[in-house]
Copies of this chain bind each other. A is one copy, B any other.
């Protein structure tokens, strides 16, 4: 019996944003592995074992999944959003590289999902409609100075920016500093979008000019998008549209 390991993206939350490819993988799985709140999104059924685990144990979780696949089980590791964007795919490949040689020849596949920045962007218009970057604001796995350096270079490049993990209870001060750095580097009124829990019943969206952005507008469920110097608001009844024009004049 030949096992397999699939690393699947569940999208940002709504069932109608789960691809049919991922749904088929869930339907055929023997074992579901992942962070508790993501595993909870998979309905129980006969023959399926759920393995929820805590946050910040990605490598242990990856090894456990690989062991079960090597043992002949059909294992699906679930991530929110897309598994390749600040999620489980990189952790699984770290574990593969560090693990037994036989793990390399397991059947391993990554199934993409709707990542949070694209779901958030779609809710307000097209703020990522020009060149952009995606930065994980957690300094759990990289030096804080590198985050600040990247923010400054991204502002100089005039990229739109998408920030994952902007703020947590363990890191209350970092995002305040991010806003300081951006205000120093950008010196304008470009829009900042705080998109919380997009596509879930708890969804909330807030759009403010950069100088009015405040740390407490974000938490760990918030995706933060920052426009380029050219990003525009279209005022209307209700939430304005936000878009970044495709063109930069010569």
Contact = CB atoms under 8 A, between A and B. Distances in A.
A135 interface: yes
Contact of A131 (B119, B128, B135): B135
A112 B114 contact: yes
- Interface bin, chain A: 35 or more
Contacts of A94: 243, 245-246
B153 A241 contact: no
Q: By CB atoms of chain B within 10 A, which of A115, A246, A247 has the most?
A: A246
Contact of A150 (B15, B16, B82, B131): B131
B93 A248 contact: no
Contacts of A241: 93, 96, 104, 108
Contacts of A247: 141-142
A83 interface: yes
Interface stretch (A27-35, A203-211, A231-239): A231-239
A42 interface: no
Contacts of A134: 128, 131-134
A93 B125 contact: yes
Nearest to A138: B246
A89 to B, nearest CB: 4
Given A96-B241, A97-B232, A122-B112, A153 B143 contact: no
B250 A143 contact: yes
Interface string A138-156: 0001110010011001101
Given A134-B131, A143-B248, A234 B126 contact: no
Interface stretch (A18-26, A64-72, A181-189): A18-26
A222 B121 CA distance: 24
A132 to B, nearest CB: 6
B122 A89 contact: yes
A118 interface: yes
B125 A119 contact: no
A36 to B, nearest CB: 20
Nearest first, the 10 A-B pairs at minimum CB distance are: A90-B129, A93-B243, A89-B126, A133-B133, A110-B122, A142-B248, A104-B236, A16-B21, A153-B157, A141-B247
